[in-house]
Amino acid sequence: MIDAVVFDMDGVIVDSEQVWDDVREQLAKERGGRWHEGAQAAMMGMSSPEWSAYMHDEIGLPESPDEINAEVVERMLDRYREELPLIDGAVEAVRRLAPEFRLGIASSSNRPLIEAVLERAGIADRFDAVVSSEEVPRGKPAPDVYLEAMKCLGAEPARTAAIEDSSNGIRAAHAAGMRVIVLPNAHYPPAPDALALARAVIAAPDELTPELVRG
């Protein structure tokens, strides 16, 4: 029996991967970095200390990782203030599941971004636990952020479902021992070997029902 559900945020609640891509690419080009086509895919799932170090070491930005992180987060917040790119049906899916399960967030986004999205979407009060991967030792595909979210919820992996969209997120949730439900990211589809770890694959949040979660 499933009694808790942990959502990823980027690509599941908010259609933000291309926003991250645009913000980091623009910053890299402004600062003389070596942006390349595989950069966004390489950083998907990384915690903020990990991707900011990647921007410094691999993309070649001269600023420190801490400075890069702060600048990217501020630009992301500016974009969210202009327009919050919620995925159609995602807010309704959260509200549909909230009466049935304890809900958590396990996101690679920085906490200020998570809080901004949940508050603006009007669903912050639906979640009993919110964890950013910047608050755990390793980002996805390591299971750390999911394990911490379940710890905060008081939930057992075998009784918890994860809602994910990306290869690294799927691998993280599976490594944490959870039932993984996948809403494939349209911009960066999960790899076949990652998708094979899913217990269910859905095409839209409208399909995310208590009956599907319980299996």
Tell me the catalytic residues: 8, 10
**Taking a C-beta distance cutoff of 8 angstroms, is the pair 16, 85 a contact?**
yes
**Taking a C-beta distance cutoff of 8 angstroms, is the pair 76, 113 a contact?**
yes
Contacts of 79 (CB under 8 A, 6+ apart): 19, 23
Sheet holding 4-7, edge to edge: 129-132, 102-107, 4-7, 160-164, 179-182, 200-201
Residues linked to residue 104 through DSSP beta bridges, in sequence order? 6, 129
SS3 51: helix
Using the structure block, give the residue that is written with the tokens 């327009």.
83
Query: Which DSSP string do the residues of 55-88 spell out, in sequence order?
Result: HHHTS--SS-HHHHHHHHHHHHHHHHHH---BPT
Q: In whole angstroms, what is the distance from residue 107 CA to residue 139 CA?
A: 9
Residues linked to residue 6 through DSSP beta bridges, in sequence order? 104, 162
